[in-house]
């Protein structure tokens, strides 16, 4: 696949980020979205044409909005995992107190 423009590349990266998030691979989704944001930032720094800057600012706003959404999903996902982990740790003493099953002969 030959992506000739930066905007096409960013669009592909955003689709990849959505697909990562759909599979609950939030780490890669957040990283991919940050990659888009940083690439748009660099392009915005180099841009001189007002219309191009305006278009890049729209891309940047979209990337920032998507990043905030993905980051909140990522944080919720991580807190859910931490809660399950803590529940397992809290139940460890009860599990250790149970007698082992006696094997049959």
Please report, in tens digits, the pLDDT of each residue of the chain (105 residues total): 455 788 899 999 999 999 998 998 988 999 999 999 999 999 999 888 889 899 999 989 999 999 999 889 889 989 999 999 999 999 988 888 888 888 776
Ordered by start, the domain boundaries in the chain are 6-91
At 2, is the secondary structure helix, strand, or coil?
coil
Angle value at C-alpha 68, between 78 and 28, nearest 5 degrees:
55
Backbone angles phi and psi of 49, in degrees to 5: -70, 130
Q: How deeply is 60 buried, as exposed, middle or buried, from its count of CB atoms within 10 A (0-12, 13-18, 19+)?
A: middle
What does residue 94 show for φ and ψ, rounded to 5 degrees?
-65, -40
Give yes or no for a contact between 83 and 74, defined as CB atoms under 8 angstroms apart: no
- Report the CATH number of the 6-91 domain: 1.20.58.80
pTM of the model: 0.72
């Amino acid at each position: 696949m030959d992506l000739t423009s930066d905007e096409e590349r960013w669009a592909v990266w955003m689709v990849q980020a959505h697909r990562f998030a759909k599979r609950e691979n939030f780490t890669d989704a957040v990283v991919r979205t940050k990659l888009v944001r940083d690439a748009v930032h660099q392009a915005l720094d180099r841009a001189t044409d007002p219309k191009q800057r305006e278009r890049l600012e729209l891309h940047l706003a979209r990337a920032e909005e998507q990043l905030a959404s993905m980051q909140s999903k990522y944080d919720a996902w991580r807190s859910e995992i931490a809660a399950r982990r803590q529940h397992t740790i809290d139940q460890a003493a009860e599990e250790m107190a149970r007698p082992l099953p006696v094997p049959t002969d």
